[in-house]
Amino acid sequence: MTLVPVAPSSSSSSSQPASLVVVVDVTPMLPGGGNGGAKWVALSLIREFLRQRPGWSWWLLTTAANDGFLGEMFPAAHRLRVLDEQGHVIAPPTLQALPGGARADLLFCPFTAPFHATPSVPTVSIVHDLQFAAYPQFFSRAEVEERGRHFSHAVVTCDMLVCVSDYVVEEVMRVTGLDRRRVRFVHNSMVDRLPTVGAETAATALADLGLQPHRYLLYPANTWPHKNHAMLITAAGMYFAAHPDSDLKLVCTGVSDDPRGRMLRDAAVRMGLGERVLFPGFQDEHRFVALITQARALIFPSLFEGFGIPVLEAMANAVPVLCANTTSLPEVAGDAALMFDPRRPRQIIGAIEAIETDPALGERLAAAGRRQAASLGTAASMAAGYLEIFAEALAERRRLSGLMRWQMLILRHWLAHHPTVAALVRFPGRLRHRIRRVPGRLLGQMQRVRAAASRRMPVLRLAMSRLRRLFSGSPP
């Protein structure tokens, strides 16, 4: 199934009201890079919403941790702090009676979970991925249950689910079987998100890390298991062992000082890669721009991505991309990346060798990357797509008769809080996961039976030999 991404129609301005009150729930937003790309999507959208619809009233539901910097970034938006320093609810927001007498016309949840949804207010949520269903082994049991509850709540509560790629649309449709009218997608088009950095700033950033322009590969990613750092470091060790004279380096930004980050650093040191693999941690936007624009290539061996924002950012800056061929990444990169299987270190090494030995390949990938990034649009077009979806959600509510609308809302509200709904929504994914494990289990059992038989074969042969001698009259 391939859907066409939502784009602003020619009548978008006339199809939308002149004034609306829209509440944006950013309570899950964390300082730093803890939210991954979802945070930058939310911030880009809010910035564009305020620019494109200045006559609308925008309310941000915030926490004690993010209220300050959101206020500095978006002084034109109203803020309502709903969580304190410990994460406890100060006062549940009443969308029908916001401070000053305002009443919400729509709730937007850029982090999926509609924590503060109410039946009388149309709700739109973003679904960034369903990684908890595809790779449950990367999460604790509690995290899988929590993410499943949030997704289930969004499925039964929201008027519209907006996915960040066609791949995520297919996964949502496959897992839930929802009506296609409720599932849309808008690409994370943020090619213009990053600032412009001067040559002096770029030179300083590289000098601080002991780097030379175009003599390092960049991998910007958190230390989440699906980011596949261990395999990349293994491949890097194999590459440097085969090319001891290479001056190429690997820079992994975003690796924090948590247990997994320390494990990766220790592994690089034990492999003798301490000077060749660098872990500078999270970088501010200007230093990150300096690193990505001066890299020999972006290398992106992730096992799972709902979109893959760093791939888009590298292409927009004409940086060659070496990219995994998994999930949404072929959709995002198109023909502008050298693809490899992220589970096979030899293929990762092959991609590194290709970009090092073939200058024409780097030039071709850089030019194709610019074209591919331009085709995905800008932050303005992304926000316009969401505004169209907001209008559709409001129009769908108005289309239903009064009694039917309230019956639907009451049913959704009941389902969203029913204890068995989350388990039912996740059931197809669990069933598929168990079915996928059956062939492996059968193969393992067959191998164990064969091994047991081979161990017993000498004893059986000796017994059969003695029986033949006994029945033939030969001495035993």
> Could you read off the pLDDT of 113-123 as tens digits, one per residue?
999 998 889 99
Closest CA to 415 of 206, 64, 149, 123: 149
3-state secondary structure of 389: helix
3-state secondary structure of 200: helix
pLDDT of the residue at 245 = 94
List alpha helices for 376-420, DSSP H. 379-399, 402-416
Closest CA to 128 of 66, 64, 214, 35: 35
In the chain, the domains with their CATH numbers are 12-190+378-431 (3.40.50.2000), 199-375 (3.40.50.2000)
Count CA atoms within 13 Å of residue 249 on its CB side: 22
- Is 104 in contact with 80 (CB distance < 8 Å)? no
Nearest-Å Rg of the Cα atoms of the chain is 27
* pLDDT at residue 207 is higher than 50: yes
| C-alpha separations of 367 from 49, 316, 318 in Å | 31, 10, 6
> Could you read off the pLDDT of 291-332 as tens digits, one per residue?
999 999 999 999 999 999 999 999 999 999 999 999 999 999
Lowest mean pLDDT among 56-70, 256-270, 334-348, 424-438: 424-438
Closest CA to 26 of 59, 62, 58: 62
Q: Is the dihedral angle over the CA atoms 10, 15, 19, 21 positive or is it negative?
A: negative
Averaged pLDDT score across all residues of the chain: 85
Lookup: tokens for 371? 């074209």
Q: Who wins on pLDDT, 353 or 199?
A: 353
Mean pLDDT of 191-200: 82
Question: What is the C-alpha to C-alpha distance for residues 95 and 103, in angstroms, rounded to an integer?
Answer: 6
pLDDT of the residue at 4 = 41
**pLDDT-based confidence at 81, cuts 50/70/90?**
very high
- Is 168 in contact with 18 (CB distance < 8 Å)? no
Closest CA to 372 of 314, 305, 325: 314
* pLDDT at residue 423 is higher than 70: no
Question: What is the C-alpha to C-alpha distance for residues 93 and 82, in angstroms, rounded to an integer?
Answer: 7
- Is 124 in contact with 20 (CB distance < 8 Å)? no
**pLDDT-based confidence at 45, cuts 50/70/90?**
very high
64: number of Cβ within 10 Å:
15
* pLDDT at residue 171 is higher than 80: yes
Question: What is the C-alpha to C-alpha distance for residues 41 and 189, in angstroms, rounded to an integer?
Answer: 9
Question: What is the C-alpha to C-alpha distance for residues 52 and 73, in angstroms, rounded to an integer?
Answer: 16
Q: Say which residues have a Cβ less than 8 Å from residue 168's Cβ, sequence separation at least 6.
A: 127, 128, 129, 130, 185, 306, 307, 328
**pLDDT-based confidence at 384, cuts 50/70/90?**
very high
Q: What is the reported pTM?
A: 0.80
Question: What is the C-alpha to C-alpha distance for residues 437 and 429, in angstroms, rounded to an integer?
Answer: 13
* pLDDT at residue 363 is higher than 60: yes
Question: What is the C-alpha to C-alpha distance for residues 70 and 54, in angstroms, rounded to an integer?
Answer: 17
**pLDDT-based confidence at 12, cuts 50/70/90?**
very low
Look at strands 216-220 and 160-163 and give their pairing. unpaired
pLDDT of the residue at 197 = 85
Closest CA to 376 of 199, 222, 226, 192: 192
